[in-house]
Amino acid sequence: MTMIAQADNSASKGKLWSIVVAIGIVLFVGLIVLGYNPGNNKDTLLVGQKAPALRTKTLADVGGDFSRITSYRYPDERMYQYSLDEALKTGKPILLEFATPGHCTVCDVQLQQLKSLATKYEPRVIFMHMDQYQNPEAFMAYKVKGDPWTFMIDGEGIVRAKQPGRMLYGEFELMIGRALGERS
């Protein structure tokens, strides 16, 4: 290959990358202009809907073996005491976290925060963790794609808040406070 042919080939690759980047920018701006917001995705369970009640694994169901209920390295037994259908019958608000720390670093951090919040808000709020590997039916029932996802369910079993992605401690507290009827 001659020097001229190599230069032409490099220029062609540069133009191709410029076109690809331009298309990416146009698509990104288009999504913003159209108001795309994954938190309001109509394909997921909607705020105001009745939370699906289904049997999910509890720590007792797996004989106390955390590895059969979560991929989390530092599990907290409080998050695995209830099956989802049982928790919904208690009349207490539920903070339901869909997180699979076995493949999601953000999920690990999120679950650390929930352990601290459970200490602060139990027994007024039930904290539950669903791992995709161990309770996939819950992910399907709540139409969760990816993780983490957080749902706040009131004492009547209605979804009052949902949030895809990472949440900060203060955001969790605000969500819980609203479910408890506290002023923010």
Measuring CA to CA, how many Å separate 178 from each of 12, 21, 95, 124? 57, 43, 12, 13
Q: What is the pLDDT of residues 109-162, one digit of tens each?
A: 999 999 999 999 999 999 999 999 999 999 999 999 888 999 999 999 999 999
Q: What DSSP string describes 3-35?
A: HHHHHHHHHHHHHHHHHHHHHHHHHHHHHHHTT
Q: Where are the domains of the chain?
A: 3-36, 40-179
If we measure between CA atoms, which residue out of 147, 76, 71 comes closest to residue 113?
Answer: 76
The confidence score (pLDDT) of residue 16 equals 72
Question: Are 124 and 95 within 8 A, CB to CB?
Answer: no
Q: What is the pLDDT of residues 64-104, one digit of tens each?
A: 999 999 999 999 999 999 999 999 999 999 999 999 998 89
Phi, psi (degrees; rounded to nearest 5) at 150: -120, 130
Q: What is the pLDDT of residues 21-63, one digit of tens each?
A: 666 565 544 434 333 444 445 677 899 999 999 999 999 999 9
User: 40-179 in CATH: which number?
Assistant: 3.40.30.10
The tokens for 134 are: 């161990």
The confidence score (pLDDT) of residue 25 equals 63
Measuring CA to CA, how many Å separate 69 from each of 63, 78, 89, 105, 141? 10, 13, 22, 18, 18
Strands (E), 58-108: 94-98
